[in-house]
Chain A
C-alpha cells in the first residue's frame, strides 16, 4: 500500500513537470506589452541612450523580435536580460547590475546626500550658536544712541 502511494506520488510529480514544459511551449505568443516590458529594461546597443521599447530603427525591431522569440521559448525576463548583457555588455541594461564597480551607482548618491545633510546640519547649528552668542543689535544701537544724546544734552547745557 505504502509502496503504491510512493509510485503514485512519483508519477504525479513527473506528470506535473511535463505539463509545465508543455504549457511553456504551447502558451499563447507574447503580446507587444509583454515584449515592451522587457525591452523597456534594455537600451539599444547601437543608438545612444535610446530605450529598446521606443527605438524606431530596424535593428531595434529585430532585437524586440528576439525578445518575443525568447519569451515564447519560455525564457524568463532575468534570462533575457542576462543574454543581452552577455552579448552586448552591461551598457545595454537600463538598470546597472548590482555587482563590482556598478555598486558605486547605487552607493554613491545616498552617501553624498548623507554627507551633504551632515554638513548642512553642522553648518546650521554653527550659525544658530553664533546668532545666540552675538549681542542684540537693537540694544547695542539704542545704548550707543543714549550715550550720544546724553553727550549732546551736556554740551547744550554748557553753552547755556
Chain B
C-alpha cells in the first residue's frame, strides 16, 4: 500500500494513451464527444475525451473529486459558456450536429439537453409556474388548457403529481428537499428534452428521497437519454447501463456497468471501485 496511490497514478499517466473499453458505440449515438479538451484559463481540466452516449441509455460518470466529470457534463449543454475563462476544443455532437458550431443556438440546445443540478434549485415561484416556465419561454403551448396538461404530465412523469396536485399555486420552496429535486426533474422534462444531464442529483438528499429519484431515473430512461454524474458507486451500479470512469481530467475506462464493477480492465478503475482511494 505504501507504493502509494500517487505513484500508481504517475506511472499510469506516464504511459497513458487512450481510454480502455468501448467508449464509442457501434450503433447511432445520441451525443458524442470527439477529442474534447476543456481549459479554465491556462489550466486544462479535460484531456481529449472521446465518448458516446447512446439513445435511451443511462450513462453514469464516476471518479474522485476534481476528476472533471462535472465539468465534462456541463460542456454537454454548454453551461460552461457562462464562465468567461472556460475554453473548449474538439467536437461535441448532438444527433450529428456540433453543439459548439456557430449556427447552433444555445437556447434551443438547452431545450434539447436539459439539466438537473446537485442542489435542488426551484424558482421561488409557485409549483405550477416552476414547471410551466420552460414551455412558456419557448412558446411551446398556445392555450392555457394545453399548458395545464403539460404541467400535469411532467409532474406525473416525475412521480410527484400526487403530492402536489392540491397545492400547485403554493411556493415550490415550501416542498421538502426530495420533492424539490423531483420538481426540478419535472421542470426539465416539461420542455421535453432528448437528453437529461444530472449532476449528482441525490447528493443533498436522504436515502429515501434518493431511492425515489433512482426509481424515477429508471422510468425516465425509457424515453430519455440520461447522463448522470455521481459520487456514489452503489448508485452508479443501481441506475446505469454504462459507466465511465474519469481520473484527473482523463476518461480512463468505459464499459457496461456490470463489467466496470465486476471486472474492470484498468488498474485505476479497479483501485477506485474497490475503495483503495477516492
- Is chain B a partner of chain A in the same complex? no
Which residues of B are in contact with A by a Cβ distance under 8 Å?
none
